[in-house]
Structure 1
């Protein structure tokens, strides 16, 4: 584990944070998720290191291209991680804070000297960064021609977006490189949105209503500062993710006699929203035991109850009791290409082959769950992806092979950062929301 500075009363130095950030960036380059890496950072360092690491990953394409020009021979991985981190800090402000260039250079050199894996390369780090400051105009002009550097996404990702969204691909990439707003979902069973917005205002926290239950904060803050958070008055959930409950439940009355399945439920945000909105008999599944615990924790804090089972939704023979469901939410595993602004490591972890593999998983889940739905029931298919293969393409293929499937008017693709489209599979551009895909498919009555 990385260690915090000796004096807990002082904020960690930029040098200390850079050293930890470089290790996180290196770990992502080696294929590890930040969700696994950041918990290894000491708690005192973690908030600052997370902010810096997110910043670096949002500029990693450009940083890699620049470092490749600055270093005639490719340095060892530890040095590369530090150079990528320092160059990214020299490119743009971090969370609105711009460090003086000489401060970044000096602190990066200090980080190199205080790490056994890089201490012999401190002079090399110093030389590369000072050269960047001298020649940055020419260096930036040279790498700007590289699309990976220009857009800070892998080339295959950029090309897929250009094919899938020829009018909007640049806006999607631009939005994906911006931090997402902090959006809350107000728990209707504990309070109402107007009252909770006033509670925020009383603490000097400005917010704007979004969707049916959401409030977008003007400024992000730790959940511990949210009034009533521990008592279950609200949850943190992007406005796009909050659409699921509306789309699955709209148009009818629900009761405890109605069986609802949340097939891939962790971490439990959509499960909880369904229960906040309707008194139903809900079964929440997830294949991972640890993630099932997160669902239970979420429901417990919000004062909600559901049956939570650790099971593979694609293998109903192992868990289904034979009683059909009135509604199914399938928030399927996907590339997460619509939420990279909140998970900037995803773009660097995914490989082009992952798309086809995940499409196969999604198809298997749809096929396995459709027989579990009552005639006249409804299934909401969702992914947090902007790739058409995981959205429109998946639903079209399903409809072609199931004559009892009826597509209902639905949202289709939600594209981050962009005004509303039209058509059977809409391209909606909701502005500050994440990228998502939603379509409701009803089973024809007997």
Structure 2
């Protein structure tokens, strides 16, 4: 059996794991091992593109089946999707795409399905030009998004929704962050140039660089020595908005995997202390590894940030970064499986959790301090609505997002400073979709800590 057929069979298994079992695409791919770089690249490309376009490809597959509502075994259905993906979205020669995908039925130990898969792909070759315009009359199908998400994006973004839907289907740009504590941006550009790696753009203070090609981190000069990290420019904006200063105490809540944690420490290496809290001990291992590579340190705490009585020492923080758990609908181009894994019913529960975190952490911020609410959701229910409700209920809070942005270089077209916070549409200035609200804490009436954070020796540990 050819290696090419084996890769297609493995891609089908990956797609089936995501679609049928609801597993993360990255998690499934992490379990796959390939013998060489070419096979690894093909497996990743076929898996990502098949998931990215799954909604549209599945609609096409339904038209290509001989019988309406014909049931297919999950791995065979996934293999058909992988085959259609090659014919519609890649430059793989059609004869190779068909032959190797059909051969993959034997790798999957389902040789009886070879005739069916062959018929589907051959019919696609003949009829896709007539079938695609018909299924594309439906915007959700054309853009390969679940219908509920299309409707919410159109409600929240109006005319910008179509641009966001299209941006979500693009392969993500490759942004890096230069560690100013280890190397200057100018010097790192020279290192890239020496390896014939081009820089297409930069942002902020020239430590955010957009490269002309994606690559394995091992190919980045000085990666293992902490010279550079891979991080989208929108995520890098968090550090510049929060503006950490020497001598301050900072809390990074919901910190994993630690990209923003490391950036804060790079921007202000002489902090008094940085505490990184996350509910997942497993994900905090990744935080520790990232900080060690960068040569910086933080106090790492495995705990629920919304329950500070279990981990807080009672000393207020000068600044808090709250990177809330969310639907991640702003980063679909990086994680296309979000289209298939997220449900409309998830949003209300996520928004409630976000509000809980914000209200629990606000008392930990000293008067005159700043809290940065960050979310990679594209939906107002998880962003502007959460902040609007909080500002209505909390008299000591003031939205300072616009004030801080005036001190930074222009963010770029497609971003919106609204009544509450900054909204970044996916694809704007090459960035992921993101939302930020920078909140100042005004001095309030003196008094005891809220009852929900009743500090005593029994709960400080």
Common fold, TM-score beyond 0.5? yes
Structure 1 residue 92: Cα displacement: 1.5
The answer for the alignment partner of 1:246 in structure 2 is 240
Counterpart contact for 1:381–1:439, Cα < 8 Å? yes
Within the alignment, does 1:264 sit opposite 2:254 as a pair?
A: yes
The answer for the alignment partner of 1:107 in structure 2 is 100
Within the alignment, does 1:20 sit opposite 2:17 as a pair?
A: no
Counterpart contact for 1:171–1:417, Cα < 8 Å? no
Counterpart contact for 2:373–2:438, Cα < 8 Å? yes
The answer for the alignment partner of 1:443 in structure 2 is 441
Counterpart contact for 1:406–1:441, Cα < 8 Å? yes
In angstroms, what is the RMSD of aligned CA positions?
A: 1.8
Counterpart contact for 1:266–1:291, Cα < 8 Å? yes
Find the partner of 2:382 among 376, 386, 390. 390
The answer for the alignment partner of 1:408 in structure 2 is 400
Equivalences, count: 424
Structure 1 residue 290: Cα displacement: 1.3
Structure 1 residue 235: Cα displacement: 0.4
Q: How does 1:2-401 map to 2 (within 5 A)?
A: 13-30=3-20, 31-44=22-35, 45-71=39-65, 72=67, 73-93=70-90, 98-116=91-109, 118-207=110-199, 208-212=201-205, 213-249=207-243, 254-256=245-247, 258-278=248-268, 279-280=270-271, 281-401=273-393
Counterpart contact for 1:183–1:238, Cα < 8 Å? yes
CA distance in 1, matches of 2:132, 2:124: 9
Secondary structure (helix, strand or coil) at the match of 2:158 reads coil
CA distance in 2, matches of 1:422, 1:183: 23
CA distance in 2, matches of 1:43, 1:92: 23
Give structure 1 stretches of 5+ with no counterpart: 6-11
CA distance in 1, matches of 2:55, 2:17: 16
Counterpart contact for 1:200–1:206, Cα < 8 Å? yes
CA distance in 2, matches of 1:62, 1:419: 27
CA-to-aligned-CA distance 1:10-35 (integer Å, 9 cap, x gap): xx733111101111111111211113
CA distance in 1, matches of 2:57, 2:233: 32
Structure 1 residue 427: Cα displacement: 4.3
Structure 1 residues 418 and 440 mapped into 2: Cα distance closer, same or farther (>3 Å)? same
Counterpart contact for 1:61–1:152, Cα < 8 Å? yes
Structure 1 residue 133: Cα displacement: 1.0
Counterpart contact for 1:283–1:306, Cα < 8 Å? yes
CA distance in 2, matches of 1:428, 1:78: 38
CA distance in 2, matches of 1:292, 1:233: 21
Structure 1 residue 210: Cα displacement: 2.1
CA distance in 2, matches of 1:146, 1:209: 38
CA distance in 1, matches of 2:283, 2:289: 10
What TM-score comes out, normalization by structure 2 length? Answer: 0.89
CA distance in 1, matches of 2:55, 2:140: 5
Structure 1 residue 220: Cα displacement: 1.1
Structure 1 residue 255: Cα displacement: 2.1
The answer for the alignment partner of 1:8 in structure 2 is none
What TM-score comes out, normalization by structure 1 length? Answer: 0.92
Structure 1 residue 428: Cα displacement: 4.5
The answer for the alignment partner of 2:419 in structure 1 is 424
Structure 1 residue 48: Cα displacement: 2.5
CA distance in 2, matches of 1:325, 1:427: 26
